[in-house]
Amino acid sequence: MVVRMRSTKSHRNNRRSHDSLSFPAVTMDKNTNVPHLRHRASLVTGQYKGRVVID
């Protein structure tokens, strides 16, 4: 049996070109100089945008 609508290598690779993962955005904390993820509370200080959100 033959595949009727076979995808070429270029079509397959063009589809997969958007599948790569990006690296997480890491910044240094202003107070402690500890790296933390952006838009997340710092696990060391428990602060987010200058406010304490984690006790």
Instruction: Tell me whether residue 13 is in a domain.
Output: no
Instruction: Tell me whether residue 52 is in a domain.
Output: yes
In DSSP terms, 46 is beta-bridged to: none
pLDDT at 45: 87
pLDDT at 11: 95
Instruction: Tell me whether residue 38 is in a domain.
Output: yes
Decide if pLDDT at 2 tops 80.
no
Instruction: Tell me whether residue 35 is in a domain.
Output: yes
- 3-53 residue pLDDT tens: 788 889 999 999 999 999 999 999 998 888 999 999 999 888 899 988 999
Instruction: Tell me whether residue 44 is in a domain.
Output: yes
* 54 contact partners, CB below 8 Å, separation of at least 6: 41, 43, 46, 47
In DSSP terms, 35 is beta-bridged to: 28
Question: Assign residue 50 a region: left if phi > 0, alpha if psi is -120 to 50, beta otherwise?
Answer: left
pLDDT at 29: 87
Instruction: Tell me whether residue 49 is in a domain.
Output: yes
Domain that holds residue 40: 29-55
Instruction: Tell me whether residue 43 is in a domain.
Output: yes
Q: How many domains does the chain have?
A: 1
